[in-house]
Structure 1
Amino acid sequence: MQPASVPTPVTVLTGYLGAGKTTLLNRILTDNHGKKYAVIVNEFGEVGIDNDLIVDVDEEIFEMNNGCICCTVRGDLIRIIESLMRRRDRFDAILIETTGLADPAPVAQTFFVDEDVRSKTKLDAIVTVVDAKHLLGEIEQAHEAQEQLAFADTILLNKTDLVSPEELTQVETRIRRINPTATIHRTQRCDIALEKVLGRGAFDLDRILEVEPDFLDEFHEHEHDDHVSSFALVSKDPVDPNKFLPWLSSIVQNFGMEILRMKGIIAFKDDDDRFVVQAVHMLLEGDHQRAWKADEERVTRLVLIGRNLPKEIIEQGFNACRA
């Protein structure tokens, strides 16, 4: 079990209807890994593993079209996590399955905004399960499918046995148009080594772009009419922190509801440390990470994933931050 001083890792499982989330959850719960998990499902009633974690919580079913859903979900989630933390010696990690939640953001935001939750837990990753056979059909009709991809740190491209290699390449290309930074694993029946999904620290500021630091080398933009799309801002010139930080705050203030995820590494002028930033909607965090390596090119790379973002305006503001 986790020592009380170590934050309890939390993994959020999301994905469109029928993609295989429950299959993944059952795999995690029955795998012979010797760990115990507390599970919160989207009705926010708790499921006890071995029935010894059941907490008396009134089962509540939320209307997911409520405009204030962030507040509703967040308050309830905080309450449940606090009750779990009183018995944190009985499990190693928490899993949250957002079955009926189109948007994982309110769940992710909980781990930014509540100090008590933040001191005791750590968001490890948002894992999105995708149905390889049906994604291309669903993605044009269901905005939720695009949004769930946008929030992901790790994507399980599931049911790969039902499509041809050519179709699989098409699906991956489509996913990359929305989210160029997530790690993609191809699976059948969500059969994957759990260390590739759990305990990865994929949401962690210290790990951003460490896993795939070269992802932008393959980044190509497309002209398309996606509801959700992504673009990258790159500068080989150092960036002025006195311009960049206020600009970044203003972008989040003005376009935060449309920014689903943002992450990047910033090379500030006269600064030997990399500065990393990430955001979920209007919640932004940034910090110095490690020193730039001697053989490392000091390039600023910022990726925005969002709904109908005004790319030209954002790009113009970014370019004005060069030192």
Structure 2
Amino acid sequence: MSYIIISLSSLTLRVEFFQTTLLNHILTAHHGKRIAVIENEYGEVDIDGSLVAAQTTGAEDIMMLNNGCLCCTVRGDLVRMIGELVDKKKGKFDHIIIETTGLANPAPIIQTFYAEDTVFNDVKLDGVVTLVDAKHARLHLDEVKPKGIVNEAVQQIAYADRIIVNKIDLVNEPEVSSLVERIRSMNRMAHLKRAEYGKVDLDYVLGIGGFDLERIESAVSEDHTEHEQKHDHDHNHEHDHDHHHHDHHNHHDHDHKHDHHAHDHTHDPGVSSVSIVCEGEMDLEKADMWLGNLLLEHSEDIYRMKGLLSVSGMPQRFVFQGVHDIFQGSPERMWEPNEPRINKIVFIGKNLNGEELDKGFKDCLLQK
């Protein structure tokens, strides 16, 4: 079961994937959050009549629930529905949840918020959250697909900023740890949390900032597995070949003194995560050309990308992110006087060639 959640906090938009148990908790518990839920007409969330405070019926049914949340059913254009919610119910909610029964790939909705000016001007994409059923995950991840077709379960993990491994009470610890390791091989950027009955602190899944450039450093850290109970992850993606400004993000959560390249493969032979770390200063013109050509030739295979650069002659750190051919980057904060000038980039996608990516990235370094 997949849900996309959009949250508007100061007109901030958030996209997340949830299961019914967590969504029902959001809609029924007295948590103090003001959340609007957009459910598609084939959704499986059943709202008890006793929980409905008020209801309007039309092209889209809108229910006001007793806990202050809104629930509406969309039968037409999602973009229009979001626009109407923002216009007509402005001030009544801070977050939007989009329930997406039958949607396997979140990329089209993510890209919508960069392609549709009316949406982009009112809200900002915030993050993707995926719930993984610990009991049945392997069944879905191991499902054999026709050649050229990517496993839907793998895709939902690959695009995530937050991953919740749910139903851990139904499997033993070694199985959970093995699943977590497998998930990490697909997505090195996401923060991960374990849960029972889909119960997590809502602050973990609301206000992620997954598409904020200023939070890229957290996204390109080496490994979040050991911090899965505490950390949040943010991702920002955009690229319309307007790559005049690349974002470069630096991580100092670990003690790396040497060049480093990690390439993890999932059981799905086509989907993996590649992270590259190297010292030195980047030639921005070379990096711009390399990234531009990379996205021009392989944008379909690159699900997500985030990075941080130490650019020659630039006192600020340069951070960037991308989702397929949508790319965004800009200078960020100033480098600290004694801060190591490290370049980092993380790719998540299918058919990634780790060696070629490693060489291409390091070829953009200024030669000493």
Report the TM-score, using the length of structure 1 for normalisation. Answer: 0.83
CA–CA distance in structure 1, aligned partners of residues 350 and 164 of structure 2: 23
After TM superposition, give the deviation of residue 118 of structure 1 in Å.
1.5
Shift of 1:312: 3.4
Q: 1:30 to 1:55 in 2, by over 3 A?
A: closer
Structure 1 residue aligned with 2:263: 221
Compare 299-308 and 38-47 and name the one that shifted more.
38-47
Contact 1:251 1:314 in 2 (8 A): no
One of 120, 123, 128 as aligned partner of 2:122: 120
Q: What do residues 182-225 of structure 1 show as CA deviations (whole Å, max 9, x unaligned)?
A: 00010001111111111121332211233773538598534665
SS in 2 for 1:166: helix
Q: 1:212 to 1:275 in 2, by over 3 A?
A: closer
Change (3 A) 1:128 1:115: same
Give the alignment of 1:273-284 within 5 angstroms: 273-284=316-327
Give the aligned partner of residue 249 of structure 1: 292
> In the alignment, which residue of structure 2 is the partner of 1:83?
84
Larger CA deviation: 292-301 vs 281-290:
292-301
Contact 2:189–2:219 (8 Å) recurs in 1: no
Distance in structure 1 (CA, Å) of the matches to 2:220 and 2:301: 25
Partner of 1:202: 210
Instruction: Tell me what 2:64 maps to.
Output: 50
Which residue among 265, 280, 283 is the counterpart of 1:237? 280
In structure 2, the CA distance between the partners of 1:135 and 1:294, relative to structure 1 (3 Å rule), is farther
Q: 1:22 aligns with which of 7, 20, 23?
A: 20
Q: State the partner residue of 1:40.
A: 38
- The SS at the match of 1:29 is helix
Counterpart Cα distance in 2 of 1:208 and 1:95: 24
Where in structure 2 are there 5+ consecutive unaligned residues?
1-7, 43-58, 145-150, 224-250
Matched, 1:161 2:161: no
Q: Which residue of 2 aligns with 1:64?
A: none
Residue type of the partner of 1:37? I
Amino acid across the alignment from 1:266: L
Bigger Cα displacement from structure 2, 26-35 vs 128-137: 26-35
TM-score normalized with structure 2 length: 0.74
Compared CA separation, residues 297 and 110, structure 1 to 2 (3 A): same
Equivalent residue number for residue 152 of structure 1: 160
Answer whether contact 1:10 1:96 (CA < 8 A) is retained: no
Please say which of residues 45-54 and 141-150 is displaced more in the overlay: 45-54
Q: Deviations over 1:234-276 (max 9, x none)?
A: 2211111111112111111111111111111111112221111
Q: What is the SS of the residue equivalent to 2:126? A: strand
Match of 1:139 in 2: 141
* In structure 2, C-alpha distance between the alignment counterparts of 1:278 and 1:47, rounded to whole Å: 37
Task: Kindly tell me the number of residue pairs found equivalent between the two proteins.
Answer: 298
User: Match for 2:349 among 306, 309, 317?
Assistant: 306
Structure 1 or 2: more helix by fraction: 1
Q: Verify: 1:31 aligned to 2:22, yes or no.
A: no
CA distances 1:68-109 after superposition (whole Å, capped 9, x unpaired): xxxxxxxx3322222222122222121122221110011111
SS in 2 for 1:208: helix
Identity of aligned residues (%): 39
CA distance in 1, matches of 2:325, 2:219: 25
Q: Give the residue type in structure 1 aligned to 2:62.
A: G
Task: Look up the SS of the partner of 2:313 in the other structure.
Answer: coil
2:130/2:156 contact within 8 Å kept:
yes
Unaligned runs of 5+ in 1: 15-19, 61-75
Structure number with greater Rg is 2
State whether residues 208 and 276 of structure 1, in contact with CA within 8 Å, keep that contact through their aligned partners in structure 2: yes
RMSD between aligned residues: 2.6
> Which residue pairs with 1:63 in the alignment?
none
Q: Which moved more, 1:30-39 or 1:252-261?
A: 30-39
